[in-house]
Chains A and B, each alone.
Chain A
Amino acid sequence: MVQKKSVLDFVPHLILLAGILVLAFPVYVAFVASTWDAATISNGTMPLRPGPHFLDNYYRAIFVGTSSSTREPVGQMMLNSLVMALCISLGKIAISLISAFAIVYFRFPFRMAAFWIIFVTLMLPVEVRIYPTYKIVADLKLLDTFAGLTIPLIASATATLLFRQFFMTVPDELVEASRIDGAGPMKFFKDTLLPLSITSVAAMFVIQFIYGWNQYLWPLLITTRDDMQTIVIGIKKMIVTQDALTEWQLAMATAILAMLPPVVVVVVMQKLFVKGLTETEK
């Protein structure tokens, strides 16, 4: 029995280790590449251990930028990405909370119609409606602005549905108790519903922050100026160069940097995230 158990324990661990290896090895190679100089990488003999140029490369990436394709320092790109991801995730959460609140707690004409229209937009992500959306943003003169970058991505059926589902599990008696306690609808929302939704909000924030951070197509269309460009586009521009040598060490450093904020968000919010998706508090 003991023997069998240890074998059974060993097999899943083996599988997990293999999985980790497959996932982590490319990241490790990218990290190693970001610590050597350009010559070592391009002559194809880069060793699998970190090199001596860690500080140089990261300093240059963050504050100076590459010398050829995009001359924008990565620091600025990260800031742009951060602003975009935060605007999208917080905007989505704010709008979805309010619309879910309206749909669940108010009886107004065409309530279900409104709900279904929101539901249907699930089938229409930005990629599908990219031309009309671009036209509207361009006509509103919002190209190369954060408003143009984020507003079209804020409307969100996913978050509305999640919050609706959560609100429907909140017992009606709480609403009634609030009414008797003299709390109006908005006071109920602020004092009772919002504090109860904290874990769902956190889960939504994690998902939407990563969604916003990873945006590629839309920022590519909307931003033309280098100082508005986001880090995901920056990496791409660094790699594809017309006539100069790709500065791989900087591109890899940028890739590692681009990975960090989502990782931080996930690590910090992990507990709340899991709670928000699995637990119904009450």
Chain B
Amino acid sequence: MNNVHLRHVGKVYAGNVEAVRDVSIEIDDGQFCVLVGPSGCGKSTLLRMVAGLETITSGEIAIGDTVVNDKDPSERDIAMVFQNYALYPHMSVYDNMAYGLRNRGTPKAEIETRVQEAARILELGALLERKPKALSGGQRQRVAMGRAIVRKPRVFLFDEPLSNLDAKLRIQMRVEIKKLQRSLGITSIYVTHDQLEAMTLADVLVVMNKGRVEQSGSPMSLYERPKTTFVASFIGAPPMNLLPLTGGDMPGLSLFSRPQGEKIVLGVRPEHLELSSPGNEGHPLALDLLVTATEAVGAESYLYGALGGAGQEVIVRVNGSSTVAAGETVRVTASARHLHFFDGASGQRIDGE
């Protein structure tokens, strides 16, 4: 079984800097786990701890049934794809892929078959004799993947592998990585700061913030029921509208019911707000917005509106054919199941119903 267990893992750097705090994650055999978070949240450190490139201050990391805390990277049976590819510049593509196998004493014939197979899967066949310098970014990325594949490791580790590619190539490679991981069935951990990449790739999505796990689970469960305001604003694009509710009436906002409490934050996603005619009553939530800007991206448009004419900014997703223009006042509504409430002080989700 090639599952990965992280139990209460922590990392403290010299000078008492806590990079990772009490992280526990379970990744089953063959699952694709994505660690996502803003820069400096500890996701890369965590990945490097799994790889063995950083020591583990506290807790335990196990691959399969073996605790690997004190094992060298080469003994952990993992393969890693780096952000800048880290190909050996003086070796040909073939040698780059074969190097790890040679160091392990794999027989020559076996190396040959494995490299050829990887080259076939990644369509690198014609490039095997080239040096990395003579390759494009996307091709280098494939070679880096190939180097990981030929090893047939228990776990793949990806450290922001797509962030050096241009937008179009990134989407293409993202799909390929997903397909590849599915067909090889190798347990993978993937680090990214791009929430879209995270949503599309993950079986298990782990949102990290300040060295802690904010929430983990399937991408859709995080989207539908974010546990904290941080997750709510991180997952989904454009981000969820978060409106701090004051005690009294707020101009432009009518809310059917709200949880008890002093400071409550109301969250509602742009895509769950619908245009509705003014005066139309009886919705759990209705917002009157003065549209300040519109953004058309094709199939859909985003309206940026000020609540009650001057209040907080709210983003609404509308159909691309919508003709609402800046300066107009609109009423938007949402149904009860799309409303999220958070405690204003702790940012934790409140489940009222």
Using CB atoms and an 8 Å cutoff, list the residues of chain A in contact with chain B. Answer: 171, 173-174, 176-177, 179-183, 187, 191-192, 195-196, 281-282
Residues of A within 8 A of B53 (CB): 176, 179-180
Q: Which residue of B lies closest to A180 (CB)?
A: B73
Which stretch from B74-82, B192-200, B224-232, B323-331 is at the chain A interface? B74-82
Q: Which residue of A lies closest to B148 (CB)?
A: A180
Instruction: Give Cα A177–Cα B53 distance, bound, in whole angstroms.
Output: 10
B185: interface (CB < 8 Å)? no
Instruction: Give Cα A191–Cα B53 distance, bound, in whole angstroms.
Output: 20
How many residues of chain B get a CB closer than 8 Å to chain A's CBs? Answer: 23
CB distance from A281 to the nearest CB of B (A): 6
Cβ–Cβ contact A180 & B100, under 8 A: yes
Instruction: Give Cα A181–Cα B73 distance, bound, in whole angstroms.
Output: 8
Q: Are A174 and B86 also in contact (CB < 8 A) when A181-B99, A182-B100 are?
A: yes
Q: Are A176 and B80 also in contact (CB < 8 A) when A171-B86, A191-B99 are?
A: yes
User: Besides A173-B84, A177-B147, A192-B90, 7 other CB < 8 A contacts?
Assistant: A173-B83, A173-B86, A180-B51, A180-B53, A183-B99, A191-B88, A196-B90
Residues of A within 8 A of B104 (CB): 182
B:34-90 near A, CB below 8 Å: 51-53, 72-74, 78-80, 82-90
CB distance from A185 to the nearest CB of B (A): 12
Q: Pick the residue among B73, B83, B90 that contacts A179 (CB under 8 A).
A: B73
Residues of B within 8 A of A195 (CB): 90
Q: Pick the residue among A171, A173, A181 that contacts B103 (CB under 8 A).
A: A181
- What are some 10 contacts across the A-B interface (CB < 8 A)? A173-B85, A176-B82, A177-B82, A177-B86, A179-B73, A181-B100, A182-B100, A183-B99, A196-B89, A281-B89
CB distance from B147 to the nearest CB of A (A): 8
Instruction: Give Cα A248–Cα B204 distance, bound, in whole angstroms.
Output: 87
Residues of B within 8 A of A282 (CB): 89
Q: Which residue of A lies closest to B74 (CB)?
A: A182
Residues of B within 8 A of A196 (CB): 89-90
Cβ–Cβ contact B103 & A180, under 8 A: no
